[in-house]
Structure 1
Amino acid sequence: MPTTGAPKGKLILAGITFAFLWASASAATKVGLSAVQPLTLFVPRFFIASAIMLLISHAGMKKRLPRGKEWIQVAVYGLFNISLYLGIYVVGMQETSAGLGALATATNPVFISLLSAIWLRKPLRPLTILSLTLCLGGIAVAAWPLIAGSYATPLGLGLVLLSMVAYSIGSIYFSASNFSDLHIFTINGWQTFFGGLFLLPVMIGWYDPSLNDFNLTWLLATLWLIGPVSMLAVLLWLFLLKDNPVKASFWLFLCPVFGFAISAVLMHEPLSLFTLAGVALVVLGLFLVQRWGK
């Protein structure tokens, strides 16, 4: 297994920080949605983040531009990984609690395993089906009191789960594509740019000035989503993957825990035995697919 030789303490700190920052995205999204419309919150973020990444890639690191079919590949990847995934996600988060949003996001590895089997036309393993059942069951258990208390709706939660499917398709497409020696910063920069570009007409058509207040709440939420979430958390994730991909994946288990803790403190969302049971089921489903599902 590849390793960076990084000190254990440094890896633990990086893992905990990554899980906290990644889980905080749902709460930051909910905070931002209290000030502006969904796509108004996310689309400018995509253009700012892509500009920073492309500046680093092309001006700083002197990496080449995509060529030929690579342009199509980064555009398709951006369509699924940014436009559909995050576009549907932020709309669904209007009617989903921050804790449930973080819990649903943590199920991505399970959806990827399921869709990979379908994509590659392999028989579905019982373990994959069991993991998906546990994760969806856990989300349903955790969602029950939140829906009853008007913290979430079935439609909102359904859209968030649909966005996970779009993300999983994007991940499988990326792994199946040949980008040759194109640098990861270049790929991420351009796919984020195209993802924002595809959503721009929707944002403009949907825009209602009366529903947007570009105040301090909007600014802080946007800055948090761009800096700590989109940039720092991703860098920490790559650092953990470089040291040990298998061990890195287990830090995802902390995301639901941090997600509900952050939502309880910032959003005053209730915690209950349903929350604990739901998180436990999702973590168990994730553990099974990470440990034996590959």
Structure 2
Amino acid sequence: MPSTSAPRGKLILAGIIFAFLWASASAGTKVGLSAVQPFVLFVPRFFMAATIMLFISHVLLKKRLPKGKEWRQVAIYGLFNISLYLGIYVVGMTEVSAGLGALAAATNPVFISLLSTIWLRRPLRPVTVVSLLLCLAGIGVAAWPLMADSYATPWGLSMVLLSMVAYSIGSIYFSGRVWTDLHIFTINGWQTLFGGIFLLPLMAAWYQPGLNHFNLTWLLATLWLVIPVSIIAVLLWLYLLKDNPVNASFWLFLCPIFGFGISAALMGEPLSLYTLASVVLVVAGLYLVQRARKKS
């Protein structure tokens, strides 16, 4: 992948590691859900990740706090990007396989493209519709045999897709706001903290002691979701975006491949020709929308 500023080798390595870590989030979530309830897995994760990022931002880097309307902006961003996106996602993942969850998450750029068109009241381009249809077809092809083998349910898949819509709305909201010199660690730290706070009442309301086992499985899953996924993968993503935002998005193509591979290795989930067809369809949809974005 060519670069104009960073060495190509470093970019390729960063892209591969990012795709692997990002795709591993679904498997890490499924492992954690075998020990605790959905919100019990994710809410502590949010507070841990927020604490680390805010420590780096305000203590190590000496960056300023948000001020004025920036507090409202990070809170709204946290509502969509953390509370709604990941809150709905983790609930859906209780009835969706890790591989299918990773496949669905990879379609985010297509949903963002579609919702951006609607949000900005622009004419709907055929390439956006075709990309969405290809991605949805890919998810459907992957889901069909998994539903038959009880690895997924229509309700779980619907929740995961709904979470992608919430994420897309959050991304559009973020890109439309003025953040001046507010550091990215500050934004991410506070939006993650607000997102966790918004989910606390739901965690408390649905908490059932007998369904939660704070064992080694829970601890390892939580630490994996906090450090490699929420912090390292995000830093690598920002590094790729800084070099070339359009090229960075192409690394998302690897996420479905890594996602199914990780889920098969760790969770014993089946791989078949349906899996291959689904990845091809989703990657084709992503390619079309990214190529259109690159041209524009």
Per the normalisation by structure 2, the TM-score is 0.97
Q: What amino acid does structure 2 have at the position aligned with 1:191?
A: Q
Mapped pair 1:266 → 2:261:
no
2:98 matched residue in structure 1: 98
Matches within 5 A, 1:268-283: 268-283=268-283
Which ranges in structure 2 are unaligned for 5 or more consecutive residues? Answer: none
1:204 matched residue in structure 2: 204
1:47 matched residue in structure 2: 47
> How far did residue 3 of structure 1 move?
5.7
Mapped pair 1:226 → 2:226:
yes
Mapped pair 1:252 → 2:268:
no
The secondary structure found in structure 2 opposite 1:137 is helix
Q: CA RMSD for the aligned pairs?
A: 1.1
The secondary structure found in structure 1 opposite 2:152 is coil
Matches within 5 A, 1:31-180: 31-180=31-180
Q: Contact conserved, 1:111 with 1:132, CA < 8 A, in 2?
A: yes
State the identity %: 78
* 1:244–1:282 distance in 2 versus 1, CA, 3 Å: same
Give, in whole Å, the separation in 2 of the partners of 1:114 and 1:166. 13
Q: Contact conserved, 1:4 with 1:242, CA < 8 A, in 2?
A: no
Count of paired positions: 293
Q: Which runs of 4+ in 1 moved over 4 A?
A: none
Mapped pair 1:18 → 2:9:
no
Give, in whole Å, the separation in 2 of the partners of 1:3 and 1:15. 12
The secondary structure found in structure 1 opposite 2:270 is coil
The secondary structure found in structure 1 opposite 2:82 is helix
* 1:11–1:118 distance in 2 versus 1, CA, 3 Å: same
1:236 matched residue in structure 2: 236
Give, in whole Å, the separation in 2 of the partners of 1:8 and 1:289. 24
Q: What amino acid does structure 2 have at the position aligned with 1:62?
A: K
Which ranges in structure 1 are unaligned for 5 or more consecutive residues? Answer: none
> How far did residue 4 of structure 1 move?
6.7
* 1:12–1:3 distance in 2 versus 1, CA, 3 Å: closer
Per the normalisation by structure 1, the TM-score is 0.98
Give, in whole Å, the separation in 2 of the partners of 1:126 and 1:5. 34
